[in-house]
Structure 1
């Protein structure tokens, strides 16, 4: 009952705090981009909020229970990706003045590519949200003693209210609170695990030495994680929206570096919790590596830990929901319907409600949380390839080949994922297909010019 009361109060308060930003959300522009309302440190926290999610906590602890410390690379490689993003793309995206990834790419490629990019990004973000709804629903069902369907519905209502009323500023404020409790939860769980092992030599002896090694996961898996994380960060809608809220390219770079510093402790703490669970709870399903601690912790301490898990669920959902809303409005609703200025905000809020409801029917059919999350990152990696070509290989920019490459990439990646990635990870298809189209289009263009 104590844990239930803490969780219910936490969800209610954070949702309410997010809605307080409604007074700042007076038009579509303020809904999509909180220009000059947040500094580099705050934006840096928000940049990482979508990625320090279910896969970075429950998924990492689960993997570490079986494979050891190497599982932390799932999260640490995100920090490397943000460092690269700060050097290569953050300042350039900030200078475009756009708050959508599709709008930024349209400046170089054209409207055909803009439409394709927007559709792929919406697809990817909805996939991420479906996985987040599923994980959150299962957690809420276990904590509150309700059905998974009811847990999913609670998440849907809370996220819709937050995003619809607060816009990106409301999401930003809520996610700052969520990220604080996320790290508090990890430190509490890791501290409890350490204290338990220290006073239980038998539990410590049950942990194989191999779990402390960095070689517990195959190198090709570590590489695919790294490539997927770089691709996802290089082309994620919520990241662009946060970057667009800053006033200069230097601030964009600084925010990216701030985001990078938080991934190392998050990854190591989650992995340690999983390794400790191997000794304290031998024989349990690996997926219970982190939640198993709640059954043996003092109720108030367990309540704090559970708040972190709830926070993890909402940071991803809120970020994806506001990003999807921005894409649908800017690339489809406004161009097709051309609503009057005074009606744009109402239309934006209607779209955000629809986006919040969309994942609910699909949330019980996700095959595997971590696998699904990396599939969504692979989809975004194809867009990242097009973005890199736009800024660093401008001679290869072509609207037709870019859009064709993206379409073929998303179809091939989805089919490969559905087949279970039989020979190699789908991330390599997502990257190689659009790159081949852009390079091939340039080479064919040169050959045609020489023939003429």
Structure 2
């Protein structure tokens, strides 16, 4: 009897059953599909944000990094949690009050059409990259869980089928409700597996004896260094304030209070998972010193008893599913709302628009799978992509808290310069004067925004400034 296979099949059936129920809730047309009819409560927002954050990067990616640098890799999840808390305290309620659906929509409402265009194209690129990473992690999980059934590529295909199918059926309601199961599974699986893994190897003392001594594997900071960790915090705080996937959750809240509380609670829920995944990555280094770092967490979990291994790897896959569904939905919303409806067919009726949203989910799902075949290095790829959100966050913060500085062309030029900085950082190593591109992005984007205020005399309309 293949116990892990049975557990995975039961989990898949449960996910599609939840999605079928979610489809019945999404009765308010396209808004019901992409924003859950703006009826998400605090607990649903909390698990949806947690599910978005605790994905392939926060589990497989953290263990992959910990396999090489140690416990410090767990700060990735702390950074994500800090970002969610900041989003809750600073921005979630504001987004809900604005009653928009996407970040580009907000850009055009306050600024101009070209600001919306450059924002939507940039956001789509970011989300496509991040979504692709979930296929890589999903394939690694299924390959370890069921090596007689899946290769890395076929595991990625199965992950794609589930990601796309769940999102296609129920949209934001699917993401929210399925995350109740996903987050519960993640906590049960990761906690019990971390304890069992360390105990089975005779405790941390024995693990330390088996790993290289030239790296401070159990030091909370030294493996990466404070500068890198601070860079992670800067990236995650930046992206949570303006990435479409997080903004869309805030826009789907019942009201401002639910939006704020949900993000703060979700941020707190994320904190312990990263260090637990990092501990298992270290244990994998001690037991399997020559495997691929990406396979560190799945490999160590498969050394546990079959039931625990099946539950935990199903939990890791649940983390992947929860993240991918939100990202796919966010990307589809950007295309359908800010490209198709805005520029191609503005008079489309709501029923047809719902079909466009669903078709976009499928098309983008296939595109991200193809992209996933070329991606390596989960955390590094993710953090570079997320740095591009700096321009959006800078624009949003000035819009809400310093509108007198905002000009008609501020959003466009700030985003354009943000893209230019990221391209230079990638291809011109001599400009890398900081430990992470996020610091340069903030300096240049804030500077650009203020320069535009000097040279552009056209202020944004007072009509929209309500804070």
TM-score normalized with structure 2 length:
0.88
Taking the aligned partners of 1:371 and 1:419, their CA distance within structure 2 comes to 17
Report what 2:229 is aligned to: 222
Taking the aligned partners of 1:39 and 1:192, their CA distance within structure 2 comes to 35
Aligned-pair distance for 1:312? 2.0
- The aligned runs of 1:398-409 (5 Å cut-off) are 398-409=407-418
Contact 1:90/1:256, CA 8 A, preserved across alignment: yes
Contact 2:50/2:183, CA 8 A, preserved across alignment: no
Distance 1:131 1:285, change over 3 A: closer
Distance 1:201 1:354, change over 3 A: closer
- The aligned runs of 1:261-276 (5 Å cut-off) are 261-276=268-283
Report what 2:95 is aligned to: 93
Contact 2:248/2:330, CA 8 A, preserved across alignment: yes
Report what 1:443 is aligned to: 454
Taking the aligned partners of 2:328 and 2:162, their CA distance within structure 1 comes to 12
Aligned counterpart in structure 2 of residue 116 of structure 1, from 103, 112, 118: 118
Aligned-pair distance for 1:434? 2.8
Q: Which moved more, 1:157-166 or 1:145-154?
A: 145-154
- The aligned runs of 1:118-137 (5 Å cut-off) are 118-137=120-139
Q: Which moved more, 1:378-387 or 1:63-72?
A: 63-72
Taking the aligned partners of 1:422 and 1:412, their CA distance within structure 2 comes to 9
Deviation string, structure 1 residues 142-194 (Cα, Å, up to 9, x no partner): 43333333222222222222112201101211222222212222112111123
Contact 2:197/2:283, CA 8 A, preserved across alignment: yes
Contact 1:65/1:275, CA 8 A, preserved across alignment: yes
Taking the aligned partners of 1:299 and 1:410, their CA distance within structure 2 comes to 47
Aligned counterpart in structure 2 of residue 355 of structure 1, from 364, 367, 373: 364
Taking the aligned partners of 2:311 and 2:423, their CA distance within structure 1 comes to 38
Taking the aligned partners of 1:210 and 1:65, their CA distance within structure 2 comes to 12
RMSD: 2.4
- The aligned runs of 1:122-161 (5 Å cut-off) are 122-144=124-146, 145-161=149-165
Report what 2:177 is aligned to: 173
Distance 1:295 1:171, change over 3 A: closer
Taking the aligned partners of 2:350 and 2:19, their CA distance within structure 1 comes to 24
Distance 1:201 1:85, change over 3 A: closer
Contact 1:108/1:397, CA 8 A, preserved across alignment: no
Contact 1:105/1:390, CA 8 A, preserved across alignment: no
Contact 1:17/1:174, CA 8 A, preserved across alignment: yes
Taking the aligned partners of 1:59 and 1:147, their CA distance within structure 2 comes to 19
Taking the aligned partners of 1:178 and 1:168, their CA distance within structure 2 comes to 15
Q: Which moved more, 1:195-204 or 1:396-405?
A: 195-204
Report what 1:233 is aligned to: 240
Aligned-pair distance for 1:415? 4.7
Report what 1:260 is aligned to: 267
Distance 1:6 1:235, change over 3 A: same
Report what 1:191 is aligned to: 195
Deviation string, structure 1 residues 417-439 (Cα, Å, up to 9, x no partner): 35679734232343333322211
Aligned counterpart in structure 2 of residue 375 of structure 1, from 384, 389, 393: 384
Taking the aligned partners of 1:157 and 1:100, their CA distance within structure 2 comes to 26
Taking the aligned partners of 2:168 and 2:67, their CA distance within structure 1 comes to 39
Taking the aligned partners of 2:403 and 2:73, their CA distance within structure 1 comes to 37
Distance 1:309 1:49, change over 3 A: same
TM-score normalized with structure 1 length:
0.91
SS at match of 1:89: helix
SS at match of 2:373: coil
Q: Which moved more, 1:151-160 or 1:43-52?
A: 151-160
Deviation string, structure 1 residues 178-213 (Cα, Å, up to 9, x no partner): 222122221121111232244796445435593332
Taking the aligned partners of 2:117 and 2:199, their CA distance within structure 1 comes to 54
Pairing 1:246–2:253 present: yes
Taking the aligned partners of 1:421 and 1:286, their CA distance within structure 2 comes to 29
Distance 1:301 1:51, change over 3 A: same
Structure 2: unaligned runs, 5 residues or longer: 458-467
Taking the aligned partners of 1:308 and 1:422, their CA distance within structure 2 comes to 41
Structure 1: unaligned runs, 5 residues or longer: 447-452
Aligned-pair distance for 1:131? 1.6
Contact 2:53/2:270, CA 8 A, preserved across alignment: no
Distance 1:283 1:152, change over 3 A: closer
Aligned-pair distance for 1:30? 0.7
Taking the aligned partners of 1:399 and 1:147, their CA distance within structure 2 comes to 52
Taking the aligned partners of 1:45 and 1:420, their CA distance within structure 2 comes to 40
Pairing 1:82–2:69 present: no
Aligned-pair distance for 1:375? 1.8
Aligned-pair distance for 1:8? 3.1
